[in-house]
Amino acid sequence: MKEKYPLIAAETAHMLLDQVKGMTPAHRGIDRQAYLFDDYAVLSTRRLKLRNVDVRDDDLHYLDELIETLADLRNSGIHVVPILGYCYEQESPDGEGFLFMRRAKGEELYDDALICRYETWTQNQDDEYLTSDADAAEYIVRRTHEVAGIPQRHFDKFISDILTILGNDILIDFQGKSNFFYDREEGFQFIDLDSHTDNYYGLTDNVVSAEAWAAVGGFVPCHFGAGTKAFAHLALDPNAIREIGETGIKQLADDNLRIFDKCVRAMKANHIKDTVLQNTLKSIKVFGQ
């Protein structure tokens, strides 16, 4: 087992690993499981030697660079949740191991295991990897109302941080709403930052500006409606959401439009050009519009 703990004591990491052995993961994804403690999160992974899905990083040079950049960003006031260290089996093909992180404050922007019940991508699928026994209808209505009440200044900071993170060639996974946390004091926080953007690895010569990227991904606090071009697979399925009921759907739509308005205001406050924003809005349709 190879270990590297630049921002966490080795003794603490070993103690967490010992506890993980007898725990049930709090959250589960395609290739990861999350184990949560009071101050830390430990993520198991089978792909530590891969960046951005398929870029080989066998000596973890890119990951080491990323850890350093995330620490610098956090120290400068950007709300990233940095990686504290890692361990992995050197002989495993893609790197079976663990990532150690500080635990994000608050809770997920939205719990994907609940809201996915209503999203297009999960309809008619037998192999869902996100599941929950909680009341999805109650959750999506209540949580959307809570997000709609987030202060405008936190939305402004959210967009500002997106621009900075992308400007440092760090990939933000906007596909999962649980990749973002919210705390009343801390505001929005970014987790699951473990890869650079494609252009950093030389995978593309077509570099999309941070501004253009933020103008799309910055709408992740919203739910998308049928017919959206951006995030089409995350659109709320009309048939699925009928179970919420007329009253719940109306509240969901109203609150979602409040969130959309705050996202737009935040983008303008961060000087995203009107031409860039208007071009994005041609591909975005949020639920309730």
| Helix residue spans in the chain (DSSP H) | 10-20, 61-75, 112-115, 136-148, 152-167, 210-217, 238-241, 246-269, 274-281
Measuring CA to CA, which residue among 178, 89, 87 is closest to residue 129? 178
Tell me, yes or no, whether 47 lies in a domain: yes
Tell me, yes or no, whether 286 lies in a domain: no
Mean pLDDT, residues 275-285 taken together: 97
Examine the domain organization and report whether 153 and 247 are in the same domain: yes
Q: What is the CATH number of the domain that holds 83?
A: 3.30.200
Q: How far apart are the first and last CA of the chain?
A: 53
Joined together, the tokens standing for residue 136 give: 């999805």
Tell me, yes or no, whether 289 lies in a domain: no
Asked if 207 contacts 199 with a C-beta cutoff of 8 angstroms, the reply is yes
Examine the domain organization and report whether 129 and 96 are in the same domain: no
- pLDDT at 8 exceeding the cut of 70: yes
Under the banding of pLDDT at 50, 70 and 90, the label for residue 83 is very high
Domain boundary at 54, 69, 102, which? Answer: 102
What does the pLDDT read at residue 30?
A: 63
What does the pLDDT read at residue 52?
A: 87
Rounded CA gap, 166 and 171, in Å?
A: 7
Examine the domain organization and report whether 46 and 178 are in the same domain: no
Examine the domain organization and report whether 186 and 276 are in the same domain: yes
Joined together, the tokens standing for residue 168 give: 């440092």
Q: What is the dihedral of CA 210, 216, 220, 223, to 10 degrees?
A: 180
- pLDDT at 130 exceeding the cut of 80: no
What does the pLDDT read at residue 208?
A: 82
Tell me, yes or no, whether 95 lies in a domain: yes
Examine the domain organization and report whether 46 and 120 are in the same domain: no
Asked if 84 contacts 5 with a C-beta cutoff of 8 angstroms, the reply is yes
Examine the domain organization and report whether 21 and 135 are in the same domain: no
Rounded CA gap, 147 and 139, in Å?
A: 12
Range of lowest pLDDT (98-102, 132-136, 161-165, 273-277):
132-136
Joined together, the tokens standing for residue 44 give: 């198991």
Tell me, yes or no, whether 200 lies in a domain: yes
What does the pLDDT read at residue 38?
A: 95
Mean pLDDT, residues 121-150 taken together: 86
Residues 6+ apart with CB under 8 A from 283: 216, 228, 229, 230
Examine the domain organization and report whether 202 and 271 are in the same domain: yes
- pLDDT at 56 exceeding the cut of 90: yes
Q: Which residue has the tokens 């635990």?
A: 103
What does the pLDDT read at residue 22?
A: 85
Domain boundary at 102, 121, 156, which? Answer: 102
Domain boundary at 71, 102, 133, which? Answer: 102
Examine the domain organization and report whether 97 and 112 are in the same domain: no
Examine the domain organization and report whether 37 and 133 are in the same domain: no
Q: What's the number of domains the chain is made of?
A: 2
Tell me, yes or no, whether 210 lies in a domain: yes
Examine the domain organization and report whether 41 and 150 are in the same domain: no
Examine the domain organization and report whether 97 and 202 are in the same domain: no
For residue 60, the enclosing domain spans 2-102
What does the pLDDT read at residue 134?
A: 87
Measuring CA to CA, which residue among 227, 229, 218, 224 is closest to residue 256? 224
Joined together, the tokens standing for residue 38 give: 């009071």
CA 274 → CA 107, 150, 156, 261, 266, distances in Å? 32, 24, 16, 15, 12
Rounded CA gap, 171 and 168, in Å?
A: 9
Joined together, the tokens standing for residue 248 give: 């719940």
Q: What is the dihedral of CA 37, 116, 98, 183, to 10 degrees?
A: -40
What does the pLDDT read at residue 213?
A: 96
Q: What is the 3-state secondary structure (H, E, C) of 46-105?
A: CCCCEECCCEECCCCHHHHHHHHHHHHHHHCCCCECCEEEEEECCCCCCCCEEEEEECCC
Tell me, yes or no, whether 287 lies in a domain: no
Examine the domain organization and report whether 113 and 198 are in the same domain: yes
Strand partners, 119: 236
Mean pLDDT, residues 227-239 taken together: 96
Mean pLDDT, residues 225-229 taken together: 96
Run of H or E including 183 = strand 180-183
